[in-house]
Structure 1
Amino acid sequence: MARPFRQQIDEGILDRAAALFARRGFAKTSLQDVADAVGLSKAGLLHHFPSKDALHEAVLAQAEAKARGVLDEVGPLPFGEARDRRAVDVVLDVALAHPGLVALMLAPVLQADADPGAGKGASGAALAAFGVDLETSDPERLVRVLGALGALAVLSLAAHHEGQTTAWRAHVAATCFDALGHRRPGAERPSSDQVEA
């Protein structure tokens, strides 16, 4: 078996650290917590990142880079169903490849007690991919986008946990698209017997 490259190791460290920062916050996450999560000693972790602050800066930089990549992918498309579909696909691909980073990116909009600075720019970019703003968007559209992103975050993490990232991908995308209020190709309309809650 080939040994992973340093970049792959660093990306794995960043992703696990991002997940811890998203869940516990920067102040409550120690270098030892991150080292334990990635299977390194604290000294081994410091070989990759010289301090907790350096690790945090690298995590935020990677989250920002992934968010910019999402915007670059969907930016040329006009707002609407096609852009929403593409945004779901792109964000989902990032989530399945980097679940910790996506947890960090979405924490400011999905967790009331998230660190205020953690992934704030990246979460804004995720919302911008769908053309919404927390302050000014139509409430229904905002709720639909937050619902889709929440479903995406939870389901992509569950897919990782269950080892089902490939098998669940299409179902996660369909769930997010449904949350956005778009009818999937081939989807049946709800029967008139169904009552809205």
Structure 2
Amino acid sequence: MARSLRLQVDEQILDRAAGLFARHGFAHTSLKALADAVGLSKPGLLHHYPSKEALFEAAVELGRARSAQVLERSERLPLGVERDRRAVELLVDFALARPGLIALASRAISTLGADSDIDPRDQGLDGIDRLVFAIFGVDHSTEDTERLVRVVGMLSALAVLSLAANHGDVNAVWRPHIITTCLDALGHRGPGRSPSDLSQVEA
């Protein structure tokens, strides 16, 4: 039980830290700001993670692990509308629970092809971008530009909406609408479909 509680606390710390890293980048996120965000003193935070670098790496690793889980569960279905829907549902649930980690994944996508003066920790974020693209069967070198743009747009919308939902404590109410918006971004909203059509998650 104690181990489970510790893991939950660690995830909460990493999620809040990930949100700051996503917003400001590694270089411009101070240890004091991180400690304030997670509700600890600097010595308290350093008790959990010995440095800002260690905290960043742990957040990236958790984001990568969760993205890999979504990929594993999504790739049971062939590429297509049903896989996109399943992946979006899984990502939305993850994003509503851990919006900072989704924001960090979104930053991974947004820094692709960035100038070389961007901190290397913010470029690619150790493969999160590749995992997220793999969920939807694309990579950043694909010739299918429309699909690439739609996936990037979907992830960006997901990051913004999940953060807004968490600030307003409206996760349950917003969830079906976020799913619909993300599927819209991927080009899958059919005529006459209502948000409630998408509210049932596969068991």
The bucket for the TM-score relative to the shorter chain is: 0.7 to 0.9
Partner of 1:117: 121
Q: Which amino acid aligns with 2:134?
A: A
Q: Which amino acid aligns with 1:145?
A: V
Q: Which amino acid aligns with 1:175?
A: T
Shift of 1:44: 0.8
When normalised by structure 2's length, the TM-score is 0.84
Query: Size of the alignment, in residue pairs?
Result: 185
**Paired residues for 1:28-177 under 5 Å:** 28-110=28-110, 115-118=119-122, 119-177=125-183
Distance (whole Å) between structure 2 residues aligned to residue 99 and residue 137 of structure 1 = 30
Shift of 1:117: 3.4
Shift of 1:186: 4.2
Indicate if the aligned counterparts of 1:35 and 1:45 stay in contact, CA closer than 8 A.
yes
**Larger Rg belongs to:** 1
The worse-fitting range, judged by mean Cα deviation, of 119-128 and 7-16 is 119-128
Shift of 1:183: 2.8
Q: Point out where structure 2 has 5 or more consecutive residues left out of the alignment.
A: 195-203
C-alpha change, 1:116 and 1:184, in structure 2 (3 Å) is farther
Question: Is the counterpart of residue 15 in structure 1 residue 15 in structure 2?
Answer: yes
Indicate if the aligned counterparts of 1:15 and 1:59 stay in contact, CA closer than 8 A.
yes
Question: Identity across aligned pairs (percent)?
Answer: 56
Distance (whole Å) between structure 2 residues aligned to residue 63 and residue 53 of structure 1 = 15
Partner of 1:179: 185
Shift of 1:49: 1.1
Distance (whole Å) between structure 1 residues aligned to residue 54 and residue 75 of structure 2 = 31
Distance (whole Å) between structure 1 residues aligned to residue 87 and residue 138 of structure 2 = 12
Shift of 1:185: 7.8
Indicate if the aligned counterparts of 2:108 and 2:128 stay in contact, CA closer than 8 A.
no
Q: Which amino acid aligns with 1:147?
A: G
Residues 57-110 of structure 1, C-alpha deviations (whole Å, 9 max, x = no match):
211110111111111111121110000001101111111111111111110223
Indicate if the aligned counterparts of 2:26 and 2:121 stay in contact, CA closer than 8 A.
no
Runs of 4+ in structure 1 over 4 Å off: 111-116
User: 3-state DSSP class of the match of 2:142?
Assistant: coil
Q: Point out where structure 1 has 5 or more consecutive residues left out of the alignment.
A: 189-197
Shift of 1:6: 2.2
C-alpha change, 1:78 and 1:26, in structure 2 (3 Å) is same
Shift of 1:40: 0.9
C-alpha change, 1:42 and 1:98, in structure 2 (3 Å) is same
The worse-fitting range, judged by mean Cα deviation, of 11-20 and 128-137 is 128-137
Q: Which amino acid aligns with 1:181?
A: G
User: 3-state DSSP class of the match of 2:76?
Assistant: coil
When normalised by structure 1's length, the TM-score is 0.86
CA RMSD after TM alignment: 2.0
User: 3-state DSSP class of the match of 1:89?
Assistant: helix
